[in-house]
Amino acid sequence: MKSDDVPDPVSTLLKQHRGDLRFAMPAGLKEQVLESLPTRRPEPRTPLVWFSLGGGAVAACLSFILVFQLGRMSVSGPSSQTVVDEIVSAHVRSLMVAHIADVDSTDQHTVKPWFEGKIDFAPMVRDFKNEGFPLTGGRLDYVNSRPTAALIYKSNQHFINLLQQPAPPSEQQRLQLQSIRGYQVFAWTKDGMHYWAVSDLNAGELQRFALLWQP
């Protein structure tokens, strides 16, 4: 389509000089980019290892790992050990730095628009102040090599990070709980979004929070 019947002089000038004005890609960057691409997308669907371990090991594991298995006995991407580890690390990191939130607001109508233009999906933002989990802010994070929206909630003196990431529309996963290093992580997938709720809250309280997100 060529709608400029009379070429704008500025347009002409820019086109004339664009060769000089272009920034050349630094040598090797293209190769670096291509090499950094994962050759295979890791989405393991392995059986839940803890259940396939020997009896003694299961008992030992169960003493600190509570697996909330309402659905299938399998773990897909979002509940894989690696991802859950990353979720816990993201939570711990967020508590270590001076400010946990990039946007401090208790107003979901402030937090939700804040994500616009920063990530290519619209996270679900809800406030559960009346249920004892006030929203305190939002943050961008990066989990499993993907941009992730983090919402921060408080429960008394504890923080909860609620992380979200787009999921394939067909994927559904009911609530699953894993405990790592004293932190509880509930993971679920619904309506095209992976969710993780992570906190040092006790599993019962965190489950109450996670259930608020269920229909």
46 binds other proteins (CB under 8 A): no
Minimum CB distance to other proteins smaller for 117 or for 182: 117
147 binds other proteins (CB under 8 A): yes
What is the smallest separation between the CB atom of 194 and other proteins, expressed in angstroms?
A: 13
Rg for the chain, CA atoms, rounded = 22
Minimum CB distance to other proteins smaller for 123 or for 184: 123
Task: Return d(Cα 131, Cα 125) in angstroms, integer.
Answer: 15
The burial class, CB within 10 Å (0-12 / 13-18 / 19+), for 77 is buried
| DSSP β-ladder status, 173-180 and 183-190 | antiparallel
- Non-local (6+) Cβ contacts of 59 within 8 A are none
Stretch that binds other proteins, among 31-39, 87-95, 149-157, 172-180 (CB under 8 A): 31-39
Residue 33's CB is within 10 A of a number of other CB atoms, namely 10
What is the smallest separation between the CB atom of 13 and other proteins, expressed in angstroms?
A: 6
What is the smallest separation between the CB atom of 37 and other proteins, expressed in angstroms?
A: 5
Minimum CB distance to other proteins smaller for 1 or for 56: 1
Minimum CB distance to other proteins smaller for 15 or for 109: 15
Q: Which helix (H) or strand (E) holds 208?
A: helix 203-212
17 binds other proteins (CB under 8 A): yes
Across-strand partners of 168?
A: none
What is the smallest separation between the CB atom of 207 and other proteins, expressed in angstroms?
A: 29
65 binds other proteins (CB under 8 A): no
Minimum CB distance to other proteins smaller for 71 or for 168: 168
41 binds other proteins (CB under 8 A): yes
Q: Closest Cα to residue 105, out of 129, 132, 88?
A: 129
Task: Return d(Cα 1, Cα 38) in angstroms, integer.
Answer: 37
Q: Which of 67, 92, 124, 140 binds other proteins (CB under 8 A)?
A: 140
Q: Which helix (H) or strand (E) holds 209?
A: helix 203-212
- How many residues of this chain bind other proteins (CB under 8 A)? 39
The burial class, CB within 10 Å (0-12 / 13-18 / 19+), for 42 is exposed
Task: Return d(Cα 184, Cα 181) in angstroms, integer.
Answer: 8
30 binds other proteins (CB under 8 A): yes
- Per CB under 8 A, residues contacting other proteins are 1, 3, 8-11, 13-15, 17-18, 20-26, 29-30, 32-34, 36-41, 43, 45, 117-120, 140, 145-147
